[in-house]
Amino acid sequence: MPDTLNVALGDRSYPILFAEDLADKVLDFVSELTAAGRRFVVITDRNVATIQAPTLQRLFGDAPTLVVPSGEESKSIAELAKALDFLAAQGLDRSGLVFAVGGGVVGDLAGFAAASYLRGIDYCQVPTTLLAMVDSSVGGKTGINLKAGKNLAGAFHQPKRVFIATGFLKLLPPREFAAGMAEVIKTALLGDRLLFEDLERQALSAGDLRLAWTVRVCCGIKAGLVESDERELAASGGRALLNLGHTFGHAIEQVTGYGTYLHGEAVAVGLCAAGRLSRALGMVGDDEVRRIESVVSAHGLPTRLRSPLPVAGLLAAMARDKKARAGTLRFVLLKALGEAVVRSDVPPAQVEAVWRDMGCA
């Protein structure tokens, strides 16, 4: 039997199901939809459509399927338009449902399309990457990127179910698995020191027996933060803590055009930058920074920029970050390993100094 975690949000509550294989549970849900006369479609990407073709056929049969290009570039206005046109072409009404099958890009795009079409229809997340399992499939944040910045258009739209089948990870390329580990490390740093120390003792791998437990722990932490602050409105702390490393990471992605770094790789650099900024503000010491960078490196992730980037461009990208309030940029920083805090009193000169320390031109 699968393990189940409920995200308690009143009438928007939903279950997250965990198991190595959840095919039977997905098929049961598909049967429920069919019996109720509800039409459904699938949105996935080219990689999943190729690698997981037998699984998609088994789960969804001949259901209409939209295949989008793989990669961050698909989180765009153009691909959103195609998705909306696809939903309309299938004649979905307000009882329709979208299955988002893939990584974070697919989940964000399909979720935003579902939130927008007919002013909102149901969708389910079927994450196939580690990053999506531990982070983006849970919490109802959907959206796309704009030229001005990452995730600047979107909607809060909670899924009806999340099916986390860790068996998908057996076919995940090593680089994609490592990218997902950035979000695992992030979660440990902001809210679970014991998890961080476990990763520190031994790096987690795709075949590790600890993997299922780790995914479950990360989802539990995120669910708790989402329940307490669904729309990221808390004056301090709250859901914003999940952005640890992301203010730096999103700037890297934008300046490099969303193609040089995977999202998790940019976040990994961002975690190291956040550690260094926390040290500059006297919140942590050299040992904590060393330990963060050691764990990041042990999981095959970059701790510094691969090549120099212009500081001015990165600072400009950060200024457009969606977490800013009243024109002031907010940073998620570390009080200790396993404890994070949101601060808006960070001197710009210290941010610039950290960028230069990370290898900027």
* Residues taking part in catalysis: 119, 141, 183, 222, 232, 239, 243, 246, 250, 263
Distances (CA, A) of 66 to 41, 113, 155, 351: 8, 12, 21, 42
According to DSSP, the β-strands at 149-156 and 97-102 are unpaired
Question: Is-contact 244 339, C-beta < 8 A?
Answer: no
Distance CA 238, CA 229 (A): 6
> Hey, what are 310's tokens?
């212009």
Q: Helix or strand or coil: residue 134?
A: helix
Measured CA to CA, the distance from residue 331 to residue 267 in angstroms comes to: 14
Query: Tokens in use for 207?
Result: 């075949």
DSSP bridge pairs for 343: 331
> Does residue 4 sit in helix, strand or coil?
strand
The total of other beta-carbon atoms located within 10 Å of residue 196's CB is 21
Q: Residue 101: name the closest of 6, 30, 37 by CA.
A: 30
